[in-house]
């Protein structure tokens, strides 16, 4: 991004002080948000989100795997972010790699809770097929294709959009024996997304297994169960610029921030995760105020995303007809 002149910096900060940002928004206002779901037919779920000039794509691939020894009663979710050099020249080389790693870690902290899974926005126990033997592994891949600030919030919105669009098939007959085809975790790649709503298999285990043996399961493209996305949070990033903090900062506003706090909040208003960037410290009372503001804004953002996702799915259903 081209560096800002001293006059431009004063203009941006002055506008924020007066609650009139350079694009006409108030400090607590979002840019227009657009959501499109089901854009990648080969994926089990996908979505594109635009917040102003920031645009991201996220998709999910679901596979059957083996639970970890530490958490035999939980499935697994892995999040990967790729910052395309086309989105921003500074993303070329290690700049993009470092930001991708930073965003991936931040998303995991905000959406998946602690290392034990406590506070996770996605219920990892719902991904279990047979405790200690079979689980669903969700691989979430996100791509930044246009960058104009607030990437973390946009990525979280895209993830919420494609999770609400996930469709994976029910496992029911006797086509595969997991004891014979097991290969260090990932076992069977599922079929592509087939429904416009969230679905996760109801698994019928066809053959009993004892000890370390894996039960026999089959894959069908006919029967689905609803995947509960009600606890999947949104992320609200509050960026400190001068004496005030703002929501949905542009890249120009981020270029001279002192710090930023990203807070993930679920539909019940519960805090699922929190992460901070920027070198300047924040007083605990300021962080507490930020959390209160994030809880209020999360209700508005959740409502907007729900509306956009419903409209996108309805439009997709009309096209199929």
CATH of the domain at 58: 3.30.230.70
**Which range is least confidently modeled, 9-23, 201-215, 289-303?**
201-215
158 pLDDT more than 70: yes
How high is the pLDDT of residue 278?
Answer: 80
299 pLDDT more than 70: yes
Q: At what angle do helices 151-163 and 284-320 cross, to 10 degrees?
A: 40
Does a structural domain hold residue 14? no
For residue 210, count CB atoms less than 10 angstroms from its CB and return exposed for 0-12, middle for 13-18, buried for 19 or more.
Answer: exposed
How high is the pLDDT of residue 275?
Answer: 86
* Residue 316 domain boundaries: 19-320
Does a structural domain hold residue 202? yes
How high is the pLDDT of residue 206?
Answer: 60
How high is the pLDDT of residue 225?
Answer: 57
Q: How confident is the model at residue 162 (pLDDT cuts 50, 70, 90)?
A: low
Looking at the structure of the chain, the number of domains it has is 1
136: left (phi over 0), alpha (psi -120 to 50) or beta: beta
Q: Which of 129-138, 160-169, 177-186 has the highest mean pLDDT?
A: 129-138
Report the distance separating Cα 306 and Cα 21, nearest Å: 27
How high is the pLDDT of residue 177?
Answer: 38
Strands 216-220 and 244-247: unpaired
Does a structural domain hold residue 13? no
Closest of 80, 100, 234, 230 to residue 157, by C-alpha: 234
Report the distance separating Cα 178 and Cα 60, nearest Å: 23
113 pLDDT more than 90: no
How high is the pLDDT of residue 297?
Answer: 93
Report the distance separating Cα 43 and Cα 39, nearest Å: 9
315 pLDDT more than 50: yes
The residue among 179 and 87 whose pLDDT is bigger is 87
Does a structural domain hold residue 36? yes
Residue 51's DSSP bridge partners are: 33, 54
How high is the pLDDT of residue 29?
Answer: 93
* Average pLDDT score, the chain: 76
Does a structural domain hold residue 8? no
The residue among 45 and 34 whose pLDDT is bigger is 34
How high is the pLDDT of residue 250?
Answer: 93
The residue among 214 and 150 whose pLDDT is bigger is 150
Does a structural domain hold residue 154? yes
How high is the pLDDT of residue 54?
Answer: 92
Closest of 64, 54, 191 to residue 139, by C-alpha: 64
Compute CA distances 71 → 115, 140, 184, 265, 309, whole Å: 10, 20, 16, 25, 33
Q: What is the pTM of this model?
A: 0.77
How high is the pLDDT of residue 295?
Answer: 94
Report the distance separating Cα 142 and Cα 293, nearest Å: 27
Cα Rg for the chain, rounded, in angstroms? 21
Per-residue pLDDT, averaged over 46-60, amounts to 89
Does a structural domain hold residue 5? no
Which tens digits make up the pLDDT trace of 190-243? Answer: 222 222 234 555 566 665 555 566 666 665 556 655 556 667 788 899 999 888
Structure tokens at 192: 């592509």
Per-residue pLDDT, averaged over 303-314, amounts to 79
How high is the pLDDT of residue 289?
Answer: 93
């Amino acid at each position: 991004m081209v560096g800002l002149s001293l006059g431009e910096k004063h203009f941006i900060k002055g506008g924020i002080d007066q609650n009139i940002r350079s694009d006409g928004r108030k400090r607590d206002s979002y840019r227009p948000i657009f959501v499109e779901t089901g854009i990648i037919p080969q994926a089990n779920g996908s979505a594109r989100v635009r917040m102003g000039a920031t645009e991201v794509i996220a998709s999910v691939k679901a596979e059957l795997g083996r639970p970890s020894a530490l958490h035999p009663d939980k499935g697994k979710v892995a999040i990967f972010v790729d910052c395309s050099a086309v989105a921003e020249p500074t993303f070329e080389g290690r700049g993009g790699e470092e930001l991708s790693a930073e965003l991936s870690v931040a998303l995991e902290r905000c959406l998946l809770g602690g290392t034990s899974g406590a506070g996770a926005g996605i219920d990892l126990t719902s991904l279990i097929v047979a405790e200690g033997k079979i689980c669903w592994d969700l691989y979430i891949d996100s791509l930044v294709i246009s960058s104009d600030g607030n990437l973390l919030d946009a990525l979280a919105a895209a993830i919420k959009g494609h999770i609400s669009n996930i469709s994976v098939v029910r496992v029911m007959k006797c086509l595969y024996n997991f004891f014979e085809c097991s290969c260090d975790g990932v076992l069977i790649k599922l079929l592509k997304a087939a429904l416009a709503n969230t679905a996760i298999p109801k698994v019928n285990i066809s053959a009993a297994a004892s000890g370390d043996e894996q039960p026999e399961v089959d894959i069908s493209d006919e029967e689905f169960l609803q995947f509960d996305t009600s606890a999947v949070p949104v992320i609200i990033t509050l960026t400190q610029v001068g004496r005030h903090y703002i929501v949905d900062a542009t890249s120009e506003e981020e270029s001279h921030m002192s710090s930023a706090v990203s807070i993930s909040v679920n539909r019940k208003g519960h805090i699922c995760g929190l992460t901070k960037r920027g070198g300047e410290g924040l007083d605990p009372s300021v962080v507490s105020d930020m959390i209160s503001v994030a809880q209020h804004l999360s209700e508005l953002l959740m409502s907007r995303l729900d509306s956009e996702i419903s409209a996108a799915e309805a439009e997709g259903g009309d096209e199929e007809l």
